[in-house]
Amino acid sequence: MKIVFHERYREVYSADPAATQGRLDRAYEVLKPEYEFVEPDYASEQDIQLMHTDAHIDRIKQKKQLFELSLLAAGGAIKASELALAKEPAFGLIRPPGHHASKNSCWGFCWFNNIAVAIEKLKNENKIDNALIIDFDLHFGDGTNGMFKQDERVSYYHMGTLEDLEKTLEQQDSCDIIGISAGFDRHLDDWGGILSTQDYQEIGKMIKEFSLNSCPDKIFAVLEGGYNHDMLGPNIKALLQGLK
């Protein structure tokens, strides 16, 4: 498992909870000793245009730092997906998050839809025929769902419970790659107050087992929510242990 990270992800780019000073610091400290870190490139504007309108891109451009970091976050998701395609599972320790960003608008601390851009780029380059996106953030990824709602080649699933995830994977068709919108705000000590750290390991195990049988072990994940700074690192690590 490789961790996609850039030092610029530490920058405070807005006043929202996803951009809070030090949000990724503890996660970096927990993951750095155990995993190889790789640095992404910025996504190109052409990459972003695969999923967003020019009008939306122009609105984000009005804030230079935010635009640059949003390109870098999308680039982190692209890097993670490319590693996964080479059967090197990867986790994008990135920000800003993305699953609430739609083609022409955004909310929920998201600006560009990182995972959607990454998946669409692989499709556009004929590197995959189909994909499964699993989102276990506390909040429904309305942007991702809307972008792919009419696309039969991409399935979006937002997790309800662990039992629902297990049943869904049992019924899921094979795919060329799995993208995970990894939001950790369901944790007992985060906004949702629902899942334990061990539960994230179980999620990872379920997805790994499915991938071995139905999606030749090509998995990548990108960070979405998760606002308890102290628990973000341990929760990510638990997921990655499950994905081993």
- For residue 163, the enclosing domain spans 2-243
Instruction: Please report, rounded to a whole number, the percentage of residues in the chain having pLDDT higher than 70.
Output: 100
100 is known as an active-site residue: yes
pLDDT in tens, 154-203: 999 999 999 999 999 999 989 999 999 999 999 999 999 999 999 999 99
Tokens at residue 137, please? 């953030």
Instruction: Please report, rounded to a whole number, the percentage of residues in the chain having pLDDT higher than 90.
Output: 98
For residue 216, what pLDDT is reported? 84
Q: Do the beta carbons of residue 132 and residue 126 sit within 8 Å?
A: no
DSSP per position, the chain: -EEE--GGGGS--SSSGGG-TTTTHHHHHHHTTTSEEEPPPPPPHHHHHTTS-HHHHHHHHTSHHHHHHHHHHHHHHHHHHHHHHTT--EEE--SS--TT--SS---TT-SS-HHHHHHHHHHHTTS-S-EEEEE-SSS--HHHHHHHTT-TTEEEEE---HHHHHHHHHHPPP-S-EEEEE--TTBTTSSS--B-HHHHHHHHHHHHHHHHHHSTT-EEEEE-----HHHHHHHHHHHHHHH-
Q: Among the options 52, 100, 139, 187, which is catalytic?
A: 100
How far does the chain reach from its first CA to its final CA, in angstroms?
7
For residue 217, what pLDDT is reported? 84
The residue count of the chain comes to 244
- Asked if the model's pLDDT at residue 92 lies above 90, the reply is yes
pLDDT, mean of residues 205-226: 94
For residue 213, what pLDDT is reported? 87
Domain harbouring 226, CATH code: 3.40.800.20
For residue 30, what pLDDT is reported? 98
For residue 148, what pLDDT is reported? 98
Q: Do the beta carbons of residue 69 and residue 112 sit within 8 Å?
A: no
Domain count, the chain: 1
For residue 114, what pLDDT is reported? 99
pLDDT, mean of residues 21-35: 98
